[in-house]
Structure 1
Amino acid sequence: MNNRLKCLLLNLFLLLSLSGKAQEKISIGEKKNLSSAILNENREIWIHLPKTYNDSSIHPAKYPVIYLLDGEINFESYAGMSDFLAKPPYADMPECIVVGIKNTERTRDLTPTKSHKKSPVNPDVVLFGDSGGSENFVRFIQEELKPFINKNYRTLDYSILVGHSFGGLFAVNVLLTHPEYFNAYVANDPSLWWDNKILITKTKEYLDKNKKFPDHKFLYVSQADNEEQNKNWNSDMTQAIEEFRGIVEKNGSLNYKHHFFENEVHGTVSYPGNYDALKYIFKGFRTDIKKLSKNPQLLEEEYKKFSQKAGAEFIPSESYLNVILKFMKTNGFKESETYFDGLKNKLYPQKN
């Protein structure tokens, strides 16, 4: 066989190998269609499952659920972000199911009241004419979407609502009207200017009536540096967010964080905001694997402390315990290895 023929056969082999590999796909989620009687339409839902969800080597686990508004815009980046932050041994959060809700009529679904704002160009035209349907939309999430997710997936009784702009307005409104629906709320650059700052009024009324927000609830608000926008129609955005901040911080009862992003504008702030929000909501979840080698009881103590703060029970995942056991064995921490082996058998007993 001459060299030229050898080269041709080698190239053919490489081509076939590459073509076979090219057919392997990386999937970050699946699309589902849900028929809504409340909204009288079909809604498309995008679902991302944690990396360990279908791992047959561990016991089937339950996972918190993150409900993500504007799913068609945020789903891909959010899924990757949540996986990254949940990666052991330095996980800042538990693995979560991410449910992206794709829009149909965004203004209708995300705004709390009917708009009567006239167009500055044509006074005969009412801006945002299809607004004011947020109560129906939150009913859809609570009464139809959540039961669907809970029925078809292994879910923990802990959920987060995430929104941006009108979605942030929606998240704040749900906190004020149905605070029990979610454990944590994320509002990225929320449109609190809506309807003459009606949610500012509702916040004051809520606190006048209830004196404080419910225990164990979290609210994260990001704010963009809308310097250029503040010179035009969007000037009320910053003022409303700052006014809301003052009211909430004065109350002092809510787990609340406000973060101003100097180098981000309204259209870009949700990405760093979502990252910072997850770090804030799950602060205290991460444990130091090196400290556990000398004080193995610290793991259960820290999970208990975090659970009390979160208002829900969280336990170390089996996959994380496997990482800890490997670390202890590799580094010769025999006593700690024995302790965590016992903890794993207690939390995840082997079937006979």
Structure 2
Amino acid sequence: MNKWFKFLYLPIFLLFTVGKAQEKLTIGEKHSIFSKVLNENREIWIHLPKTYTDTTINPAKYPVIYLLDGENNFEYFTGLTDFIARTPYADIPECIVVGIKNTERTRDLTPTKSQKKSPVNPTLTLFADSGGSENFVKFIQEELKPFIKKNYRTQEYSVLVGHSFGGLFAINTFLMHPDYFDAYVANDPSLWWDNKVTIARTNDYLEKYKKFPSQKSLYVSQADNEEQQKNWNSDMTQAIEEFKGIVEKNGSLNYKHSFFKGETHGTVSYPGNYEALKFIFKGFRTDIKQLAKNPKLLEEEYKKLSDKLGTEFIPSETYLNVVLKFMKSNDFKEAETYFINLKNKLYPKVR
């Protein structure tokens, strides 16, 4: 009897185990968009915030992050944004993440046509397919953004994130088309490109406009990788430092540079993106305990953030629910009444 029970138990156990294994965790969805500008199909990966489909709250609009090199960065980046946007510890608002998968990476992310010759074969031009960044940014601005806006609930605030050539692309877009995005993230950008053409463009921008736009944000990370000791890529290091010096002399821009000791060119994006998002949205997080003493502080802090970023931000309904629960459980009746009224004002019930 015991042996039969053991044989019978095993298949039943496996049946339930297999059934549970079929449940999937989904972090995004894939779309294919035909670009008339690039004359090719482009694959886009989209991650929606956890509250996007929550039917217990009013439909919200979300900032959009456009992530270059999507196939390399999408999986960790979406988890990162979800983690630092969770209530009540949110350092950033929940965001829609749009990962852009590469087809011809060098073509799309470099601003000029390379004339650099191979050191081992002078007849060979390196990066021969380069110089197509203007077409690529046109695709993003005129085709991809309208697609996202049409199909998703988006707020009028967008961030461009890139690494290496992607960082070069982000800075060049900031210089040539500063209004295309509200914030730019460049992780270990390849500013050595084409005899530091981007450094020249930075000086040209300042000569023409005198200062950078005050409500834009630019974050630049720099890797260590012992590259400076080995002189493996000193041109990159020198170019990033030169760019840093120019920007910091013109303090109107919301700018931050971070050097990550011990990080390589290939790993710096992870800590860089974490610090970048916290930097861009600095002032988003409020101390819930302080709100009990001064309920008006929440609106005051969001007003400061909105003025700094040039876009209106308001407390999410999810966060207000957390605040109300805290006030009620701790018997802060005056504060509770204040936040009930604030929630009704910002998120009126549909009758």
Question: Which stretch has the larger CA shift, 333-342 or 110-119?
Answer: 333-342
How far apart are 1:17 and its partner, in Å? 2.6
- Scaled by the length of structure 1, the TM-score of the pair is 0.97
**Alignment of 1:334 onto 2:325:** no
How far apart are 1:14 and its partner, in Å? 3.3
Distance in 1 (CA, whole Å) between partners of 2:93 and 2:5 is 53
How far apart are 1:351 and its partner, in Å? 1.2
How far apart are 1:234 and its partner, in Å? 2.0
> 1:173 aligns to what?
172
> 1:284 aligns to what?
283
> 1:284-326: per-residue Cα shift (whole Å, max 9, x none)?
0000111111211111111111111111000011111111111
Distance in 2 (CA, whole Å) between partners of 1:277 and 1:77 is 15
**Alignment of 1:214 onto 2:213:** yes
Task: State the identity %.
Answer: 75
Distance in 1 (CA, whole Å) between partners of 2:126 and 2:28 is 36
How far apart are 1:237 and its partner, in Å? 0.4
RMSD in angstroms over aligned alpha carbons? 1.3
**Alignment of 1:300 onto 2:299:** yes
In the alignment of these two chains, the number of paired residues is 351
Paired residues of 1:114 and 1:131 also in contact (CA < 8 A) = yes
> 2:30 aligns to what?
31
> 1:218-263: per-residue Cα shift (whole Å, max 9, x none)?
0000000143376355220000000000000001111110000011
How far apart are 1:5 and its partner, in Å? 4.6
> 1:251 aligns to what?
250
Query: Structure 1 residues 97 and 161 mapped into 2: Cα distance closer, same or farther (>3 Å)?
Result: same
Distance in 2 (CA, whole Å) between partners of 1:202 and 1:230 is 29
How far apart are 1:8 and its partner, in Å? 4.8
Paired residues of 1:226 and 1:238 also in contact (CA < 8 A) = no
> 1:90 aligns to what?
89
How far apart are 1:15 and its partner, in Å? 2.9
- 3-state SS, counterpart of residue 94 of structure 2: coil
> 1:17 aligns to what?
16
Paired residues of 2:227 and 2:234 also in contact (CA < 8 A) = no
Paired residues of 1:230 and 1:236 also in contact (CA < 8 A) = no
**Alignment of 1:123 onto 2:122:** yes
> 1:88-133: per-residue Cα shift (whole Å, max 9, x none)?
0010000000000000000000000000000001000000000000
Paired residues of 2:224 and 2:262 also in contact (CA < 8 A) = yes
Question: Which stretch has the larger CA shift, 337-346 or 229-238?
Answer: 229-238
How far apart are 1:11 and its partner, in Å? 4.3
How far apart are 1:74 and its partner, in Å? 0.2
User: Aligned ranges for residues 17-96 of structure 1 at < 5 Å?
Assistant: 17-96=16-95
> 2:157 aligns to what?
158
Paired residues of 1:134 and 1:170 also in contact (CA < 8 A) = yes
- 3-state SS, counterpart of residue 257 of structure 1: strand
- 3-state SS, counterpart of residue 30 of structure 2: strand
Partner letter of residue 85 of structure 1?
Answer: I
